[in-house]
Structure 1
């Protein structure tokens, strides 16, 4: 079976890009003929895909273009490759005119699959809703990461086939112990952009630090102030650094910058727990990577995070966006760590019960094969 991942713009780093690499590598290792079509600069992620013997057809166009020009320039290459494929996966929703042109070039034997990168949002304008529905109806299957996303698609009007399946993460390496307890370290892993709502995280950390110092420093003078480590970069970094200064926590907040893919597990292992305060999310592949490394998570009630953290052994979901309430939940997890009521071994075990890469990959195989039963 020939499987093509028609990606569009492939960023040097990102959750959906990393998932693309993980899925293609898994399928390639299980004797599928995989290929990636994309535009954008070369990157370590793309190089790792090439090292897995996956063919990449890439237009090296860079970012910052209007009118979807890079996607249109990629179209001739895409049409050529899509005609040779049995299944075409889309990790992003391309402009409908491009999708229509691609659809015209294939027969019923080639199946189109859309993998949602974020929770589907129902447009308020009637025309926008109709246009989105027209685009969704071009697909033979839509894969979502949480059951709540199905209702969103139904509200848009989509009545086609939908399957719920998580992103596939890479197999975690040897489990690393928690850092020494002299200083509690909270981590964040992701881009410093609006969707991640880092201002709430900084405000919640300030509240948490106050609560933590009142609880523990008075009992143990050797205990140091907790610190917050932000692994990732983005255009909001300078603004967030200024906010940390304004909140009086700059000395305890460390902006680590972008982390190469091969250093992510070490970055995760350097912290005791992680926090996400996002406005919106899809699967949040970073959360799966963190849990695979045996670290708990406190997160807002968005995207697939409620499904991921439905097992209380993995962390807590916070339904409020009040910084003080988020801080209370951080305190609960910090106490469990201090009491040794949760451990990296317990967290990884609970994570693997639901998200073991081999099990998730096997399910992707079964879903994709079901689209072409005669070819499998």
Structure 2
């Protein structure tokens, strides 16, 4: 796009422009709803939407975010930067989809005038179908519906793409050709756009380096949850006992107590740092030498981008978009799943390269800047969300 993405100022709206119609007339901007549903303080798709909305501050788009969540600092920051946040606080009753029902019933009128709805999470089936019914009754018909995949489709829908989703979504935004292949194999006939998540951070040289004491500090950043496969990570690190390595885990989750016990039982050099606020993520990354992610399921894997943006190498399993990320530069390597010895060999080789000073932050940063320019990617999203509609029944 030729038009600049960002303009001077904070992006906050003129309070005299009280109505949607006033704002849209003043900005000549389409109204785009971003639906997340349950918004967690730390989460991949939540971070994706948060980064996009901040990037759109002041641009020719009028965004609204629909969430059920606590009154989180991230949501207050988004509201201050110009995003209208429609929020409900009920979090109980997920088994019966009560939070999603309350969010829809309380704020459905605000979907009346939207030009597009971008989903990061699809609501439960009955809620989604009720939403579609409301949208179909609009005088101007249903808006374009887009879905940004939070995981690889074959991992997200292991039994195949549900017809009630595939038949309603007009545009799927995916992060790799493998995701496209999954959707086509599942019978999705709508538009598919391959586009990475907006990189969460520009490439910045680390502010500090780990201590030069000969210890290679291995990092993990994320939820301590089953999907992350962290007991397998402990098995891998155990193979490197005596190689002067430490494992630093940044995060919390349902496996934390069991992981701590397993690490202590085996006398592994594992340090648990607890949850990390997003503002403190760069310092956490800078404190380690190599980052690891043996997940069994991923989407874009924003953590990989955050790690690379600080000039650190990344070793991850071949799930989600991780292979495509690592293929864009000399960023790291793939760790095999289900084979501790083979994965330990990959890690041991990476540690040896680190000791030989072969992982140079400047080289990683240069490759990252080339592969993931945030302004260019944000401009692509803006063009997609403000260009001609691609409603299935009018395309």
- The alignment's TM-score, normalised by the length of structure 2, stands at 0.85
Q: Which runs of 5+ in 2 are unaligned?
A: 1-29, 391-395
Q: Which residue of 1 aligns with 2:303?
A: 286
Q: Any idea what SS the aligned residue of 1:298 has?
A: strand
Matches within 5 A, 1:1-376: 1-63=30-92, 65-106=94-135, 107-108=140-141, 110-121=143-154, 129=160, 132-172=162-202, 174-176=204-206, 177-182=208-213, 183-210=215-242, 213=243, 225-249=244-268, 252-372=269-389
Contact preservation (8 Å) 2:204, 2:365: no
Aligned length: 354
Give me the CA root mean square deviation.
Answer: 1.9
Contact preservation (8 Å) 2:216, 2:246: yes
Q: Any idea what SS the aligned residue of 2:233 has?
A: helix
- 1:121 deviation in Å? 2.6
* C-alpha distance in 2 between matches for 1:108 and 1:178: 56
- 1:256 deviation in Å? 0.8
Contact preservation (8 Å) 1:300, 1:321: no
* C-alpha distance in 1 between matches for 2:374 and 2:71: 26
* C-alpha distance in 1 between matches for 2:165 and 2:339: 37
* C-alpha distance in 2 between matches for 1:277 and 1:140: 33
Q: Residues 297-335 of structure 1, C-alpha deviation per residue, up to 9 Å, x if partnerless?
A: 011110100000113510001234312211211222222
Q: Residues 20-56 of structure 1, C-alpha deviation per residue, up to 9 Å, x if partnerless?
A: 1001111223231111111011222222212322111
- 1:160 deviation in Å? 0.8
* C-alpha distance in 2 between matches for 1:133 and 1:93: 13
- The alignment's TM-score, normalised by the length of structure 1, stands at 0.89
* C-alpha distance in 2 between matches for 1:101 and 1:370: 27
- 1:296 deviation in Å? 0.6
Q: Which runs of 5+ in 1 are unaligned?
A: 214-224
> Does 63-72 or 288-297 show the bigger shift?
63-72
- 1:81 deviation in Å? 1.7
Q: Residues 202-251 of structure 1, C-alpha deviation per residue, up to 9 Å, x if partnerless?
A: 111111234xx2xxxxxxxxxxx3111111100110011111123321xx
